[in-house]
Amino acid sequence: MSELLSMAITATLILYTVAMGIALARLFGGPSAQDRVLAMDFIYVVGMLVMLVLAIRYDSEMYFEGALLMVLFGFVGSVAMAKFLLRGEVI
């Protein structure tokens, strides 16, 4: 791996971390419950992107399955929380 790609990966991970920090501020200080669910969903998506970038960084295909699982669990969690907000029960 060249110097350029390594530096670009570091910069990208720093940008992702800043974005997750901003979303975390929305998660803790959001005015309503649906804001918190939205920020949680966004943090899941950015975490999935972090897994894909780490797959390039460590040159391993194993992170791909982790990213796929993260998409699925983020979807299930967000839909469960939204249904809870809608009806007061999950199913």
What does the binding site for another protein look like in residue numbers (CB under 8 A)?
1-5, 7-9, 11-12, 14-16, 18-20, 22-23, 25-26, 32-35, 37-39, 41-42, 45-46, 48-49, 52-53, 55-56, 59, 61, 64, 67-68, 71-72, 74-75, 78-79, 82-83, 85-86
Are 47 and 70 within 8 A, CB to CB? Answer: yes
Buried b / exposed e over 43-63, threshold 16 CB at 10 Å, is bbeebbbbbebbbebeeeeeb
Q: Nearest approach, Cβ of 20 to another protein (angstroms)?
A: 8
CA 7, CA 71: separation in Å to the nearest integer?
Answer: 27
Q: Nearest approach, Cβ of 49 to another protein (angstroms)?
A: 5
